[in-house]
Amino acid sequence: MPDVLPPAMPGITTDMMLAIRDLEAWYGESHVLHGVSLDIRPGEVVTLLGRNGAGKTSTLRAIMGLVGRRSGSIVFEGRETIRMSPDQIGRAGIGYCPEERGIFASLDVTENLMLPPKVRSGGLDIPTIHALFPNLKERARSQGTKLSGGEQQMLAIARILRTGAPLLLLDEPTEGLAPVIVQQIGRMIREIKQRGFTVLLVEQNFRFAQTVADRHYVMEHGRVVDSVTNQEMAGSLERLHAYLGV
């Protein structure tokens, strides 16, 4: 089903993969984002840091169109997506891995992996995915939700790597996982960066974020309040601690 996408807007520089301006979002009556602005260049790994409730998950959901209402501007590869439906946004080339992982219990591992339709060429093929995540091959016929938490996280990421979407939104992929699995996920994120994917990563754990990201945005009360590059991070720890309360 080829969905017709609006043409690139004239006069807007398209060297950003994702450019968000003044994004506001609501769930029913509750106003969760109050003007988020951020940019992601192609090939970057960028994190959203912040306390619980700062609006990190809501930002990802708003990018996908999964909030009740949103306004502002979200330009993806030069195309305005603010008025698109979630399926159009997914088809445009944004892969989404939700916080709760979203593994389907009524589908086995292979069906879960094959579920998201391909949106572009350039996705990883199944042998490559199985090489990156050997567990998924071994457990191909298991029910999706019978996997361990770490395996479910791998599956949730693997299935959006297959679709060819160049921008991946990962919502706290390390949450609740053992340190050895967290390291594995860190290696995996560096690996997909090398393969040219662009990643927007929501993280609570900024020590982990430091090991994978190029830049970091800090969110507070539904806004982006600060940003640092990974190189500056060591020198900015005090400032970041104040935001994150750690």
Partner 1 sequence: MLEELLFQLEMSAPQIVLGLVNGAFYALLSLGLAVIFGMLNVINFAHGAQFMMGAFVAWMLLNWLGIPYWGALILSPLIVGAFGVVIERLMISRLYKLDHLYGLLLTFGLALIIEGLFRNQFGSSGLPYSPPTSLTGAPIDLGFMMLPKYRVWVVVAALVVCLATWLVIEKTRLGAYLRAATENAPLVQAFGVNVPRMVTLTYAGGVALAALAGVLAAPIYSVNPGMGSSFIITVFAVVVIGGMGSILGSVLTGFALGLVEGLTKVVYPEASATVIFVIMAIVLLARPAGLFGRA
Does residue 117 touch partner 1 according to CB under 8 A? yes
Strand partners of residue 97: 170
Q: Which of 26, 35, 39, 114 binds partner 1 (CB under 8 A)?
A: 114
Q: How far is the CB of 112 from partner 1 (least distance, A)?
A: 8
Q: Does 119 bind partner 1 (CB under 8 A)?
A: yes
Question: Alpha-carbon distance 239 to 147, whole Å?
Answer: 39
Q: Which is nearer to partner 1, 104 or 134 (CB)?
A: 104
Task: Tell me the closest approach of the beta carbon of residue 153 to partner 1, in angstroms.
Answer: 15
* Element (DSSP H or E) covering residue 235: none
Q: Which is closer to partner 1, CB of 1 or CB of 180? A: 1
Of 17, 44, 54, 116, the residue at the interface with partner 1 (CB under 8 A) is 116
Task: Determine which residue in the list 72, 98, 122, 186 makes contact with partner 1, applying CB under 8 A.
Answer: 98
Helix or strand (DSSP H, E) at 172 = none
- 200 is an interface residue for partner 1 by CB under 8 A: no
Query: 3-state SS string over 13-54?
Result: CCCCCEEEEEEEEEECCEEEEEEEEEEECCCCEEEEEECCCC
123 binds partner 1 per the rule CB under 8 A = no
Residue 99 tokens, joined = 């916080």
Neighbouring CB atoms inside 10 A of 232's CB total 14
35 binds partner 1 (CB under 8 A): no
Give residue 155's Cα distance to chain centre.
14
The helix or strand, by DSSP H or E, that contains position 201, with its residue range, turns out to be strand 198-202
**178/194 Cα distance (integer angstroms):** 25
Instruction: Report CA dihedral (16, 182, 98, 139) to the nearest 10 degrees.
Output: 120
Position among 5, 35, 37, 66 found at the interface with partner 1 (CB under 8 A): 66
Candidates 6-14, 81-89, 175-183, 198-206; binding stretch for partner 1 (CB under 8 A):
81-89
Interface segment toward partner 1; rule CB under 8 A; list 70-78, 108-116, 132-140, 200-208: 108-116
Nearer to partner 1, 111 or 175 (CB): 111
Residue 102 is a binding residue for partner 1 (CB under 8 A): yes
Half-sphere exposure of 145 (CA within 13 A, CB side): 7
Stretch that binds partner 1, among 18-26, 107-115, 174-182, 206-214 (CB under 8 A): 107-115
Nearest to 174 by CA among 47, 66, 59: 47
Contact call for residue 87 and partner 1 (CB under 8 A): yes
How many residues touch partner 1 under the rule CB under 8 A: the total is 25
Sheet (strand 69-76) strand order: 30-40, 18-27, 69-76, 79-80
Instruction: Report the interface residues with partner 1, using CB under 8 A.
Output: 1, 64-66, 85-87, 89-91, 96, 98, 102, 104-107, 111, 114-117, 119, 160, 163
